Every structure is written in structure tokens, then in C-alpha cells.
Amino acid sequence: MIIDFHTHVFPPRIKQNRAKYIDSDSSFASLYSLSDSKLATADELIAGMDKDGIDISVILNIGWTTHELCVETNDYILESIARYPQRLVGFGTVQPRSLEAALGEIERCAQGGIRGIGEMRPDTQLLDLRDEAVMRPFIEAITGHNLILLTHATEPVGHEYAGKGAITPDRLYPLITSYPDLTIVCAHWGGGLPFYALMPEVKKAMSNVFFDTAASPFLYTPRVYEQVIQLVGADKVLFGSDYPLLAQSRLLKEIKSLDLAEETERLILAGNARRLLGIKNSFSNPSP
């Protein structure tokens, strides 16, 4: 089994009316203003999965700035996992600054079979991760429904790219230490956060933190796999492609080329995701 933990899909109306949503939402604009930025529907993802041999994909939302756009796109994710219950796992999104509405939306999504919230973008969503008045009820709603939080992450150094943002390890770490019971997936290798696991207190704090490989070829050389596995363990790494930014086959080929131990490869490609998502031998979207 192969599980891609990081893909994005959008309703056909957003793909067909990209300019409208660029004008409506600064977070979407930061990601998809360039004409070569790819958008895909759930049907297109399924076709790609069939082509590349992917069994299950986690379909993520993005960090919209308004509650209304969160709801609109969550509806499509709920619809998609209902249409493809054996192939897709859904993550919804909320705007925590609209707190009461966000808490209600988490409840609605959880009841609909959503397994997590993400890909959150605290910087473009203007969310202060240290604001307890907002963050504590938000996190309590996530943990109360046994959901996973998946957040964008980025390095404080290196090249710029569309959507890089400013969610660097120093901003993620206080979130991790403040909510130790929260299961967090930090996208894009956590913006380098695993490298700080050489500090014993950091490694201890990250007991419920996982890292996906989304867009890895655009960020790191393949040596990153070996280094992160040594620092935090193979049981903390999740295969993620960032489809449609990258074809799922590209990340899969990179991992297959590394000559990893069989058990290590199995954990990265499916074992860790199955454990987090509660997927047994035959998959059906588990009830929250």
C-alpha cells in the first residue's frame, strides 16, 4: 500500500475561475497567482493515482482567509471523500480568527468524516500562534474530535518561492510545546525543524510531531531523508507529494532510489500514515 499524505484538490469552479479567487483571497493569491501554478480536481487526482500506483491520498484544503471560503472548499472535500471512500482521506480548513464559526465548522467536518485540519497557513491567515484566547479553544476542538493538525512550514533561509511564507521552526516550536497532546504534521520537512532534534529537549517535545516530504525535490537534496531519519526516526516521516505541484511518481521514484531499509521504506510510504489515520488492511473512511 502507498499513501500520499499531502495533496491538494479544488472544486472545478475554482479551477475555472482562478482570477476571481485570486482577487477574493490573499492566501490563495500567494499560492496560485502565477499562471503555471497547477490546480487539480479530485477526479484528476484519482486519475493520477491510478497512473502512478498510489492507493490512498490525503486531500488537503488551504489556509483561506475567510470563513466563507473555508466552508465552500470544505464542502468539496466532504463530497470528494464520499465519492471515493476507498481512495481519499479528507482534511478540512478553518479561519480560527472567526472563532465561533471555526469551532462549528470543525464539528461539521468531523461529523462528515474529515480526519484533520490543514494545510493551515498561520502567516497568511494572520493567526498569532501564541494567542491563547484563539488557539486554546481551536486546538481543543481538534483534539476533542481526535483530528490531526497539518501546518505549512518553511525555512528561514534559502530561496524564495510562491507561498514560501514565514512559518519557520521558531514559530512552530511554541505551538508544539504548548499543546503536547496535539498530533501535528509539519509539511515540507517542517522547515528544517527535525534538525533541532539534536537538542534533547526539542526531540522530547516532538513526540507527537510528524514531517511530510511534500515538494522535497524543490527544497532539499535526497540526503534529507537519511538525515531526518537519523535525527527523529523513520516512524516520523510521511510520504507526501504536494500534488499537483509535483507528480506523485516523482516523489515516489526519489524514495525508491534511496536504497532505504525495507521496513523504513514501508513506514514512510504507508505504515506511519496508516497508524495516524487508523487505516486497517481494507480502507474505509473511519468515523471520528
pLDDT tens string, the chain, 288 residues long: the values are 999 999 999 999 999 999 999 999 999 999 999 988 999 999 999 999 999 999 999 999 999 999 999 999 999 999 999 999 999 999 999 999 999 999 999 999 999 999 999 999 999 999 999 999 999 999 999 999 999 999 999 999 999 888 899 999 999 999 999 999 999 999 999 999 999 999 999 999 999 999 999 999 999 999 999 999 999 999 999 999 999 999 999 999 999 999 999 999 999 999 999 999 999 865 544 444
Question: Would residue 146 be called left, alpha or beta, if left means φ above 0 and alpha means ψ between -120 and 50 degrees?
Answer: left
d(CA 46, CA 203) in angstroms, rounded, equals 37
Domain boundaries, the chain: 3-277
d(CA 182, CA 150) in angstroms, rounded, equals 11
Cell of 256: 525508491
Cell of 252: 515516489
Fold of 3-277: TIM Barrel (3.20.20)
CA-based torsion, 168, 175, 106, 190: positive or negative? positive
Q: Is 145 exposed, middle or buried (0-12, 13-18, 19+ CB in 10 A)?
A: middle
Strands (E), the chain: 3-8, 56-60, 88-92, 116-120, 148-151, 184-186, 209-212, 237-238
CA-based torsion, 60, 28, 41, 190: positive or negative? negative
Cell of 117: 485540519
